Amino acid sequence: MASNVLKTAAKDAENLKAAAVSGVEHAEHSFVEAAHAAKVSLAEAAKRVEKSVAEGLDTLRAQSRTYTDTAGQQLDDAQRYVTERVRERPLTATLAGLGVGVLIGLLMAGNRSSNR
């Protein structure tokens, strides 16, 4: 009888060992599948982020070109306006430039004397 109990216990131990090995193999397989799925998900997310950043940069380039063109046109218009006014009244433009220069000089000289 003791021998039957030992045989049954040994058989149960073998069954438990086989179940444990099977459980470990299943867990390992599940881990490998989860790691692969995570790798694929990360790769897809990286591609989406890269695409989004590229689209954002393209939009920014297009907008900056528009702003640059507009600013260049406005600068040309301002330059043309100033040139026309100087040609119409050269003496007035010269006196205005001289006056601005004197004002800037006085401001700078006043600033230096207050720093001493």
- Which pLDDT tens digit goes with each residue over 18-54? 888 888 889 899 989 999 999 999 999 999 999 999 9
pTM value is 0.45
Higher pLDDT, 111 or 10: 10
Would you state the pLDDT for residue 57?
A: 92
pLDDT in tens, 65-91: 889 999 999 999 999 998 998 899 999
54 in Cβ contact with 61 (< 8 Å): no
The yes-or-no verdict on residue 1 having pLDDT over 80 is no
